[in-house]
Amino acid sequence: MIDNLITALGAEFVQLSLTPIVIGTLAAIACALPGNFLLLRRQALIGDAISHVVLPGIVAAFLVTGTITAVPMMLGAGAAAIIAVVMIEIVKRLGRVEPGAAMGLVFTTLFAAGVLFLEITDTSSVHIDVQHALLGNLESLIWFDAEGWGSLVDPAALATLPPQLPRLAVVLIGIGLFIFLFWKELKISTFDAAFAGAIGIRTRALGFALVVATAVAAVAAFDAVGSIIVIAMFVCPPASARLMTNQLARQVGWSVVFATISAILGYVLAGYGPGWFGSPYAVSAAGMIATVSGVILILTCLFGPQRKRTGQQAEA
């Protein structure tokens, strides 16, 4: 009887919870990896900007194709993200303003344009709404054909996985390869752009490639987990990792650990936490994952080994 109960619980977990946890973890790591370099370059808010500007791209893709399937939405959102990156660079260089001011101007303008498009066209009749944009649909990414742990080695069952999982896996592998192949160039240009240019590293092209990788991660994660997780994962795990070490390689490793903990613990607390306090309801997984990442950041601010040194450097 106990064996049957364990089997039933395992089958339920694999079907209902395993894929959302894996997808949330993949999205969190994919955003945290480039977030380390954005943080050190003082461009962390560019992830926030990209998360906002995908809306007009999604709306434009629907107007052109007439569908809300994944491929047109991804292409439209990706095009909007790249356009936003170019606009930020143009505003920053021609207007001679700070990068933060340029990002603020561009992403608020494009987000407002996306909302305007929703109102003046018939796209408001389809499922493109604020809740989906902010919170995603992580809880609904259920693996319907899973019958237990054996489904993990069943090709027929694997073929029915939610499409967001293999999509995010490919994006994560691509970002990982980009960072691995250009590790030396990214490291040098992040800490000393002038020296990097002097030894022949194309810093502008490399910086643009990093932002494009950020845009790809944001767009891939947007459909599954929404903008809340995307924004939080670009900033919180890298910032927490920075407070744990002053070595870049270790910082990247810590950020992956913190992103994974945030995704797993956040999903568990969202689904089962309210029940521990007698509530029959659950809370948003995206919001709870972002909350856990924020709590980790607070803890590292209070107890991280590098908190004092980081503060002294910032003051200097």
For residue range 37-49, what is the model confidence (pLDDT) as tens digits?
999 988 887 777 7
CA atoms within 13 A on the CB side of 6: 3
109 within some domain: yes
261 within some domain: no
In tens, the pLDDT along 253-290 reads: 999 999 999 999 999 898 887 777 777 777 888 888 99
316 within some domain: no
| Confidence band, pLDDT 50/70/90 cuts, at residue 31 | very high
182 within some domain: yes
Residue 129 CA to residue 264 CA, distance in Å, equals: 26
The pLDDT of residue 35: 92
220 within some domain: yes
**Average pLDDT for residues 78-104, to the nearest whole number?**
80
Examine the pLDDT at 311 and tell me if it is beyond 60: no
Q: What is the pTM of this model?
A: 0.84
The pLDDT of residue 123: 54
Residue numbers of the domain that contains 155: 2-225
**Average pLDDT for residues 137-149, to the nearest whole number?**
76
**Number of domains the chain contains:** 1
Residue 250 CA to residue 304 CA, distance in Å, equals: 14
Examine the pLDDT at 176 and tell me if it is beyond 90: yes
Examine the pLDDT at 295 and tell me if it is beyond 90: yes
User: Locate tokens 């240019």: which residue?
Assistant: 197
The pLDDT of residue 134: 60
The total of other beta-carbon atoms located within 10 Å of residue 240's CB is 28
Examine the pLDDT at 316 and tell me if it is beyond 70: no
267 within some domain: no
Q: Please state, for a pLDDT cut of 70, what percent of the chain lies above it.
A: 87
93 within some domain: yes
Which CATH number characterizes residue 77's domain? Answer: 1.10.3470.10
207 within some domain: yes
